[in-house]
Structure 1
Amino acid sequence: MRIKNVRIYTMDDNDRVIDKGFVTVENGIITAVEEGSPSECSENDIDGRGMTLYPGFIDAHTHMGLTSAGVGIEGEDLNEEFDPCTPQLRIIDGINPIDHSFEMARQAGITCVIVSPGSTNPIAGSIAAVKTAGKRIDKMVVKTVGMKFALGENPKLTYMDHEQSPATRMAVASIIRDNLCKAQRYMRDIEQAETESDLPDYDSSMEALLPLLRREIKAHFHCHRADDIFTAVRIANEFDLDYTLIHCTSGHLIADELADENVSCVVGPVICDRCKPEMAELSPANAAVLKANGLEVAVCTDHSEVPIEYLPISVGICIKHGLSFYDGVKAVTCTPAKIADIFDRVGSIEVGKDADMVLFEGNPFEVMSSPALVMIGGKTVGRDNV
């Protein structure tokens, strides 16, 4: 099957844009990306009629399926807020793929989401990249991509209400450090064990942190305020973690300092108010300023803080406030794929990658735009007059 007669934003590492070309798909995988017209056609081919084909959009930070729409507390699986350190929690055990938000994502051209636990705990649990089509979460998962950490108001206020630690930013950072140090010792004990009887007693929370210490997954730091952002950088550097900054709300004020750290940022939510003190410096120009200072920037909704279907509009607002159109496309395709270390499968239109693509007639980031075609794994999940 081919999608032909389309302009193609490949979003590959060569920044290739094909003015008129076609993409061939076999068994859910892209097998050709070519200029011109195919030499042969079949009845299954899709004529794009000059529209523009993009990689399927990716939201780099969501809580998809952890808060079921219209259900209330029974559907809340976002925060395990009775223990400040829960790295052993597996995100896929909390995601409800039947939740309406997955359908809304598909309708907006979002084919993959990064799903994270909430931010009440200094260490909250694993993070996974998930396709937005499917009924069984085990078949939708691309891979586990990270471990969630949270700084600032959320853990402070949660445990202050519980009348336990942490109640200060110092204590939040201390809990993170203590557990990373314990995990380092646990890892050394495993590596130095000469026999099975020498192995340390199994500890699920320490086991969960080992891939992080081995840099097999990233630390995702929830941080809004400038001082919290620098605490995230400080801890990551102390423990040699591969990491990314989530929200990074005050990033535009310290972009020159962050540029020295060569760190990626996931900006958002964009369509929201300054709903708490640490978001006082919220600016729609944040993404543009960070990008201008050389940082890699993805845009997120933080669903359900902003409904998932407003991801393209969020990018449009960032473009309105200084981000280039091409960098806007990158912010929801190749950049989040690279941040999540899933660029080998998604985030660009290249041979060998999953056939996750979205076709638009006009600007995909305008409020009146809807995709003419949405494809996930070579299967059409949304189609309008093509």
Structure 2
Amino acid sequence: MVKGGYVYTFYRGVIEDGIVVIGDDGRIAAVGRADEVEVPPGSDVIGAKGAHVIPGLIDAHTHIGVDEEAVGWEGRDTNESTEPVTPHLRAFDGIKSDDIAFREALEVGITSVGVLPGSANPIGGLGAAVKCFGRNKLEMLIKEPIGLKMAFGENPKRVHGVENKRSPSTRMGIAGVIREWLVKARNYSRKKELFKDQPEKLPDVDLRLEALELALRGVIPVRAHAHLADDMITAISIAKEFNLRLVLDHSTEAHRIPDIIAREGIPAVVGPLMTAKGKVELRGRTLETPRALANYGITLAITTDHPVVPLKLLPVQVALAVREGLPFDEALKAVTINAAKILGIADRVGSIEVGKDGDIVVLSRKPFDIESRVLYTIVNGRVAYSLEEARR
């Protein structure tokens, strides 16, 4: 139980002198003011008087575990760039739960992350959502798959066209490959339906087409790596052609087309925001993009793209976006409930509500204050990080 702080909820604002009770099952059992909530006898109490209690933070787009810190090439399992179309690959298979970045994430209050394949391939593979705390990756797993990675623009052009001298080598080629394989998957799906009562005529199982079929059926969204506004428009066009659910990832120039993104009802994951502009696609990056999207009512998340920016700097990126005009409430949502919705895990995490996982962070000051420290990070009702213990 966490007692006595300012509890940030999205359904009744900030509760002063609040209490959050977590049951033995690791889920939130009660939330409210001290005079509203009955505290079970014998409860373990974390005193939070004067502190700020928020949902565990979530980064919706990372490569944590598949691009392991402090290991070098052996820890890089982000891209299977030996061929351009790999929808059947699963980021979960590449996660190393001993990645030190998981521990560092807990130190700043990050409790859940989306893990995606990299952007070398036009169609890269399936993502997963995991907790940052657990004995192994199976214990950490929240949900998979959470999306099908596709990539537009410079990265697939460079990896396949420049470095390997093969197709695709242009933006036209990238879009063409994606359309070609979506058509193959659509035909595959139609054959399965047509011959469902004639097993001898069913097509052989094709893992690539099975993965693409998940996106065609709307089971999972396409997670589209796109920096330039024009590449985002290509992704949106393909999504409309094939009736795909779409999430825009990176969204560097999304401030140029917020009306289009809002009209289509597409969520946008923005970032990373703290790197040098090391390639042409980043020329238009600005810290004002989150504010511009929030002003249009777009479901917004903010990402580090870890390890491009270390995951532990997620709160700093959000603070910079707030400085540039992103409203505080929208900033907090961007790394909690909005990120959870984008990952398809909002039924479990992203807000302090009865029935959700006990993923809670206790801060010394208001969220995104540069002097604020994490006092406790709680995952599934267990203390995963304590500042007091860390200082011993």
Confirm or deny a common fold (TM above 0.5): yes
Matched, 1:285 2:277: no
Q: Could you report, residue by residue, the CA deviation over 1:283-329 in whole angstroms, capped at 9, with x for unpaired residues?
A: 00000011112211100000000000000001000000010111110
**Equivalent runs, 1:138-153 vs 2, <5 Å:** 138-144=138-144, 145-153=146-154
Asked if the contact 1:54–1:358 (Cα under 8 Å) also holds between the matched residues in 2, the reply is yes
Matched, 1:247 2:250: yes
Q: How far apart are 1:7 and its partner, in Å?
A: 1.3
Q: Could you report, residue by residue, the CA deviation over 1:142-194 in whole angstroms, capped at 9, with x for unpaired residues?
A: 11210100000000010111010000000001111111111111111111112
Asked if the contact 2:365–2:371 (Cα under 8 Å) also holds between the matched residues in 1, the reply is no
Asked if the contact 2:232–2:251 (Cα under 8 Å) also holds between the matched residues in 1, the reply is yes
Asked if the contact 1:7–1:52 (Cα under 8 Å) also holds between the matched residues in 2, the reply is yes
Give secondary structure in 2 for the equivalent of 1:240: coil
Give secondary structure in 2 for the equivalent of 1:328: helix
Give secondary structure in 2 for the equivalent of 1:258: helix
Q: What amino acid is aligned across from residue 21 of structure 2 in structure 1?
A: T
For residues 158 and 369 of structure 1, the distance between their equivalents in structure 2, rounded to whole angstroms, comes to 41
Q: How far apart are 1:384 and its partner, in Å?
A: 2.9
Match of residue 30 from structure 2: 32
For residues 208 and 135 of structure 2, the distance between their equivalents in structure 1, rounded to whole angstroms, comes to 29
For residues 179 and 158 of structure 2, the distance between their equivalents in structure 1, rounded to whole angstroms, comes to 20
Q: Could you report, residue by residue, the CA deviation over 1:196-242 in whole angstroms, capped at 9, with x for unpaired residues?
A: 21211111100111221111111100000010010111011111111
Match of residue 8 from structure 1: 7
Asked if the contact 1:10–1:349 (Cα under 8 Å) also holds between the matched residues in 2, the reply is yes
**Equivalent runs, 1:308-327 vs 2, <5 Å:** 308-327=311-330
Match of residue 171 from structure 2: 169
Structure 1: which 5+ runs fail to align? none
**Equivalent runs, 1:104-253 vs 2, <5 Å:** 104-144=104-144, 145-160=146-161, 161-193=163-195, 194-253=197-256
Q: How far apart are 1:54 and its partner, in Å?
A: 0.6
Give secondary structure in 1 for the equivalent of 2:291: helix
TM-score (norm 1): 0.97
Give secondary structure in 2 for the equivalent of 1:314: helix
For residues 6 and 316 of structure 1, the distance between their equivalents in structure 2, rounded to whole angstroms, comes to 21
Asked if the contact 1:364–1:371 (Cα under 8 Å) also holds between the matched residues in 2, the reply is no
User: 1:282 and 1:204, CA in 2 relative to 1: closer, same or farther beyond 3 A?
Assistant: same
Structure 2: which 5+ runs fail to align? none
Give secondary structure in 2 for the equivalent of 1:372: strand
Cα RMSD of the aligned pairs, angstroms, is 1.3
Asked if the contact 1:252–1:286 (Cα under 8 Å) also holds between the matched residues in 2, the reply is yes
Give secondary structure in 1 for the equivalent of 2:218: coil
Asked if the contact 2:152–2:174 (Cα under 8 Å) also holds between the matched residues in 1, the reply is yes
Give secondary structure in 2 for the equivalent of 1:288: helix
Match of residue 306 from structure 1: 309
Asked if the contact 2:52–2:366 (Cα under 8 Å) also holds between the matched residues in 1, the reply is no
Give the paired residue count: 383
Give secondary structure in 1 for the equivalent of 2:71: coil
Q: How far apart are 1:254 and its partner, in Å?
A: 1.6
Q: How far apart are 1:347 and its partner, in Å?
A: 0.3
For residues 38 and 164 of structure 2, the distance between their equivalents in structure 1, rounded to whole angstroms, comes to 68
Q: How far apart are 1:258 and its partner, in Å?
A: 2.0
User: 1:304 and 1:139, CA in 2 relative to 1: closer, same or farther beyond 3 A?
Assistant: same
For residues 70 and 4 of structure 1, the distance between their equivalents in structure 2, rounded to whole angstroms, comes to 38
Asked if the contact 1:127–1:146 (Cα under 8 Å) also holds between the matched residues in 2, the reply is yes
For residues 270 and 368 of structure 1, the distance between their equivalents in structure 2, rounded to whole angstroms, comes to 20
Matched, 1:345 2:348: yes
Q: What amino acid is aligned across from residue 33 of structure 2 in structure 1?
A: E
Asked if the contact 1:64–1:115 (Cα under 8 Å) also holds between the matched residues in 2, the reply is yes
Give secondary structure in 1 for the equivalent of 2:264: coil
Match of residue 59 from structure 2: 59
Q: Could you report, residue by residue, the CA deviation over 1:5-62 in whole angstroms, capped at 9, with x for unpaired residues?
A: 1211123xx3532122211111201111122244445361111112111110000100
Matched, 1:21 2:18: yes
Q: What amino acid is aligned across from residue 17 of structure 2 in structure 1?
A: K
**Equivalent runs, 1:250-269 vs 2, <5 Å:** 250-269=253-272
Q: What amino acid is aligned across from residue 346 of structure 2 in structure 1?
A: F
Please say which of residues 181-190 and 298-307 is displaced more in the overlay.
Answer: 181-190
Q: How far apart are 1:382 and its partner, in Å?
A: 1.0
